Amino acid sequence: MKINIRNIYSLSSFFFTGIIVALLLFCSCHTAKKATKTPSVAPRNMGKASDSSALANSIDPEVIRQKLGENTIRYQTFSARARLDYTTAKEAQTGIAVYIRMQKDSAIWISVRPLFGIELIRVLITPDSVKMINFMNRTVKLRSADSVEQLMDIPYDFDALQNLIVGNPLFLTDTLQNLLNTGTTIAFSCKKGKLTSSYLVLTNNYLIRQNKLAEADSSGHRYSQEEFSDYKSIGNRYFSTQRNLLIHTNTETKANIKFNRIEFDKPLNFPFPVTDKFEMK
């Protein structure tokens, strides 16, 4: 399988891409939507079953904000392994292993290993910088924090990237707009400056089903959209282990991300070796 280093770097810086982590990333060979699996028990602090049923028909903005707050994943550190498949207009690649470590509000560390467990790229993202080691080319790249936005043409800052990875709302505002209860989901949007973040949340437990980030001045051509499914309870937190990510700019990139080995609040390090044998760029 031919590895496209440029696209792998784009994914890494993003995802997580995903993720960013990837940020990693850009998106999925699996274009069909998968059924959402919700926890067999209600998320913490949801109350009795009768209370949950009554809330299912509510589109009270304060209720929505309260329940989303209760489902927000709180952590100091996060680590996971993810399998990444992605397609672009020119190519598709599958089975890329991405290792992610995060220290909240401090560091996002990503290791990309496309084949045979051999590390190809390591990325370290902080609130003010992006660093990448390309082990194949033996180079180190240093960039400013806004290079992620420039690379993807989508306005992700450090906070948005870490929220994207753990599955928290990208941002919420005091005013929720365009509220609509579809029966199984509640749709709404928030605006912050030129950005609009749109959400679908499940009415039975207020877990996020979909999140879309767009710029008001892009005429709908620049946006990212993430779909969440297969929620699992991990340390009293409900984490979506299956994601479908779409990045739409001048072209379209899709990614399918499957998380495992998920841990919260474990001691982590963020090694980033640089030697004189690597060329600085």
pLDDT digits (tens, 9 = 90+) for 70-101: 999 999 999 999 998 988 888 888 888 999 99
pLDDT-derived band at 22 (thresholds 50, 70, 90) equals very low
Beta strand 279-280 with 139-144: parallel, antiparallel or unpaired? parallel
pLDDT digits (tens, 9 = 90+) for 176-209: 999 999 889 999 999 988 889 999 999 999 999 9
User: Long-range CB contacts (< 8 A, 24+ apart) of 177-184?
Assistant: 179/59, 179/61, 179/64, 180/59, 181/57, 181/58, 181/59
Say if residue 55's pLDDT is above 60.
no
Q: What is the pLDDT of residue 164?
A: 87
Q: Find all residues with CB under 8 Å of 133, minimum gap 6, and list them.
A: 121, 122, 123, 139, 140, 272, 273, 274, 278
**CA distances (Å), 33 to each of 54, 131, 135, 229, in order?**
29, 34, 35, 10
pLDDT digits (tens, 9 = 90+) for 229-272: 999 999 899 999 999 988 887 788 888 999 999 999 999 999 98
Find tokens 């180190």 and name the residue. 140
Three-class SS of residue 229? strand
Q: How far apart are CA 122 and CA 139, in angstroms?
A: 11
Reading phi first (left if > 0) and then psi (alpha if -120 to 50, else beta), residue 158 is in alpha
The domains of the chain, with CATH numbers, are 5-280 (2.50.20.10)
